[in-house]
Structure formats: C-alpha cells, structure tokens
Chains A and B, each alone.
Chain A
Amino acid sequence: GQQVMQIPQYQHVQEGEDFTTYCNSSTTLSNIQWYKQRPGGHPVFLIQLVKSGEVKKQKRLTFQFGEAKKNSSLHITATQTTDVGTYFCAGPSTGNQFYFGTGTSLTVIP
C-alpha cells in the first residue's frame, strides 16, 4: 500500500541553526500537505503543494515539492524555540484519503 516516510525521525538543533525534514512517497502524489503538531497538541495545517517542482515560503519556512511529485521537503531557517514540535507530511492515498508520514520531531535547544 501507499507509504509516506519521513527522515529524520528526530532532530535536535541549537537555536539559530537551520532544520530540514524530508518526505518520500512510494507513489506519485497529486498533492502534499504539511502539518505541525506542538507537544501535547493537535496537528495544524501549514501548507499544501500541488505542482511539480513547486516552492512555497512562509516566513522562515520553505516548502518544496519534487519534480516527480514523490518527495517533498520542509526547511526552517534560523530555528527558534517556537518551532519545537513534530512536522508531518500527508499525501492522498489511492482512495483519496490523507495518510500521514511518520513525522519528524524537532527539538530546539536555546
């Protein structure tokens, strides 16, 4: 079945360092979404990418969708303690429901 894998599973960075998480699908995706879940919280939608090679920015966050639409990345520039949480990518399955990646847990050390 369709799988969405993320690496790394965990990442510890010093505040001010950059952070990147990668999402890989076993199948081509029509679109991909990214969510952030703060510790003890619930997933919150960040962005959706639809086009091959698409790049979108939200302040210090840069999201990219691969040319083959099978992978995506989220890059955070100059991390802050407010960036702490788990970042999930999510892609639609063949049944058109969203399946979430395994997540990358980000810890920012002040």
Chain B
Amino acid sequence: DAGVIQSPRHEVTEMGQEVTLRCKPISGHNSLFWYRQTMMRGLELLIYFNNNVPIDDSGMPEDRFSAKMPNASFSTLKIQPSEPRDSAVYFCASSPGQGGGNEKLFFGSGTQLSVL
C-alpha cells in the first residue's frame, strides 16, 4: 500500500516567494493533518481536515499560510510570501476516521523547506 505521499521532499526558496507543499493521503482515509516541525517548537499542528472540510485551523501561524483540500486525494499548504522563519519540516498525516483524537496517524516523509 502506498503511504502518505508528500512533494517536494526539499524546497529551497528566497524570502518573499510563494511556496506550495503537496500531500496525497492514504486512499480511503477521511482525515488529513498538516504539522510543522522545528527544533524550537517541536511538532505543531497547523490545520486539520475531515472529509475535505477544514475543521480546525487554529494552528495556522498567520494569514500568509493557507491550506486547501479540493478532493479526498489531494491537499496543499501554501505560504505567501515566505519568510526565513518559515524554514522547517512540514509533515502531512492522514487517519482513517473522523480524526477524533483517538486514531493512529500515518505520516508522510515530509517536506524540508528552507527560506533564504
């Protein structure tokens, strides 16, 4: 079975540029999560979708960040404009059910973002 697929694996961009991270969840999974990982802040939940609908975006740092899930097999996380402090590893994860805080999360391999 294919796991959660993220692209690109690495992204290097200059400050002010737009960055789009992509995620394909496991087929049949109903919930999708975007996490950000840094040394200083650890693993932070940014946003969570259930059945393609954003349920909780309270972790999105600011208006420069936006996330969409146009269908059950695809999600994007966009940063515009990007800043050096956005440099981190961004993980996408999916789970089979409603994401009610009691399900196993399956993580993608992550996108290492560097904003110069």
Number of residues on chain A facing chain B (CB within 8 A):
25
Q: Which one, A30, A43, A90, A95, contacts B91 given CB within 8 A?
A: A43
Which residue of chain B lies nearest to A91 when distances are taken between CB atoms in the complex? B101
Q: Is the CB of A102 within 8 A of B42?
A: yes
Which residues on the A side are within 8 Å of B99 (C-beta)? 96-97
Q: Is the CB of A92 within 8 A of B105?
A: no
* 0/1 interface trace, chain B 87-116, chain A, CB 8 Å (1 if under): 000010100000111101111111000000
* 0/1 interface trace, chain B 71-83, chain A, CB 8 Å (1 if under): 0000000000000
Known pairs A30-B101, A42-B91, A48-B102; A98 contacts B45 (CB<8 A): yes
- Report A's interface with B, CB cutoff 8 A: 30-31, 33, 35, 41-45, 48, 50, 88, 90-93, 95-103
- Report B's interface with A, CB cutoff 8 A: 33, 35, 42-43, 45, 48, 56, 58, 91, 93, 99-102, 104-110
